[in-house]
Structure 1
Amino acid sequence: KKQSDTRVEWKKISGKDVSFVYFQGSFIGNFKGRAEIRHSSIQIKNVTRKDSGKYRCEISTPSEHGQEAGETEITLLVLVPSAVPVCEVPISAMSGTVVELRCKENEGVPASKYRWYRNNFPLSESLMLGNVKKDRLPYAMNTTSGTLLFNHVSKNDTGEYYCEADNEIGQPQKCPVKRMQVDDLNVSGIIAAVVIVALIIASCGLGVYYAQKKGYFSSKYICFYN
């Protein structure tokens, strides 16, 4: 039995699709130049997240009883550090409204966990924030989706916000700081504006009525020129 008589094949399995990695003594596709065979094992260099997946090794060798074959499957998971997340923070908001801040990065493997900071202090997830119970916290932070939700934002929530993504592979990454300004709704100003508009409309209506009364809209004042 010669070593050269042994057939070794490697395949990558993606759902129902099967593609060759190593076939007839050569690597196939993007594995050329960055993979090498060692006995029946393969070593891949410069792996990327695209290399993650299920691989199957098939070996067959001649014997006294004919061809003997065997196979085994392994799963490769390429770990990728968190990338710099993209943060969505509104520039301004009115107090009492619902405001949601978003943070996301799609490169890290495994998926990142997220934490929000305000004025360089981490927002709490603990049972207590000072003397405030968790169920009375003015926000809800989802460390999986990266959202920070204010059901009733207030002026106290004004500040500089940023989010940090971390999957414990490499260093945590954070987005640039963005400021959110929360202002009270100026009810008196709105009422004053509504009153002024109403007075203007009323004045226009009185003007039209007066003009009709004086006959300014009469047909005798309409002239046609050739």
Structure 2
Amino acid sequence: MTMLTALLILLLLSPACLSVTVSSGKPNVEIHEHTDAVLSCEFRTEKDQNPRIEWKKIEKRVTFVYFNNRFTSSYAERAKIDGATLTIHSVSQKDSGDYRCEVTASEDHVTLGEATVTLNVLVPPHIPSCDVPSPVFVGSSLELHCKDKLSVPPATYRWYKDNKGLTSTGDTPYSIDPSKGTLKFRSISKLDAGMYRCESSNNAGAPKSCVAQQLKIIDYPLNLTILIAGAAGLLLFVILCCICACVCRRRGCCGKNKKSKW
């Protein structure tokens, strides 16, 4: 017997070989909402012909999905297992997360093998909420808001005025943040009046838009303008009176006259 043959026999008989091995052909699964998620798990045992198979969802605390040859209550009506591969029907965003396939082969030297599969459920855009305050006074600063909290991955946003897409440049009187959905005006003018709507989009489905809302721009009312001007004038008059009183007091003009002696 050659040394090489003896070494091969020794490796084959080594207890380290008597172990369960577990793997996944697709450790990262990304699918759309309301479709079936297939979480693959393949295993091989050296001796044990009837290993125990478990699936767990790894969150802040571990949740059993498949245990003791049956599904737990929240998965009983919408999941199946084939070998060790788990299929969850009609998934929602709540199903996103890390899942662990565990195979226990008590007759093998190393009795436990495991593999982790990450499930990411994509959610198409929903109709965003749009905040368009109106009316607004000429010259005011203004910020419009748009938000879609449900889409996965997070939506990006585009604003439209009178059905024409707005693009922010250094010359425009507004700025747009596509990730936050804000449209900011530094100083609003009557030219900015119109119908505004926002559109949310991601790569999971068709874009969705809110209903267009009218932005009205108005001048300050005449009586309000007069009131502001009058208040400013009164304030200026009071300040001037105070200054004059201080100057007079410093120069002694405001002191009491002394009585003359006869």
What residue in structure 2 maps to residue 13 of structure 1? 58
- After superposition, give the CA deviation of every residue in 1:19-69 in whole Å (9 maximum; x if it has no partner): 10000111112111110001111000010000001111111113353x521
Q: What are the equivalent positions in structure 2 for 1:114-125 lying under 5 Å apart? A: 114-125=157-168
Unmatched tracts of structure 1, length 5 or more: 126-133, 196-226
Identity within the alignment, %: 39
2:213 to 167, 178, 196: 178
Task: Choose 1 or 2 for highest CA Rg.
Answer: 2
Report if aligned partners of 2:48, 2:108 keep a CA contact under 8 Å in 1. no
CA distance in 2, matches of 1:169, 1:68: 41
Alignment of 1:20-169 (within 5 A): 20-63=64-107, 65=109, 68-125=111-168, 134-169=169-204
**Structure 2 unmatched runs, 5+:** 1-46, 231-262
Tell me, in whole angstroms, the C-alpha distance in 2 between the residues paired with 1:124 and 1:144.
Answer: 14
Structure 2 CA distance for aligned equivalents of residues 149 and 193 of structure 1: 26
Measured in 2, the distance between the counterparts of 1:75 and 1:64 equals 28
How far apart, in 2, do the equivalents of 1:161 and 1:173 lie? 14
Following superposition, which runs of at least 4 residues in structure 1 exceed 6 angstroms of deviation?
192-195
The aligned length equals: 185
TM-score (norm 2): 0.66
Match of 2:252 in 1: none
Structure 1 residues 64 and 153: alpha-carbon distance in aligned structure 2, compared to 1, 3 A threshold = closer
What SS is found at the alignment partner of 1:149? strand
The CA RMSD over aligned residues, in Å, is 2.1
- Name the CA distance, whole Å, in 2 between partners of 1:175 and 1:119: 13
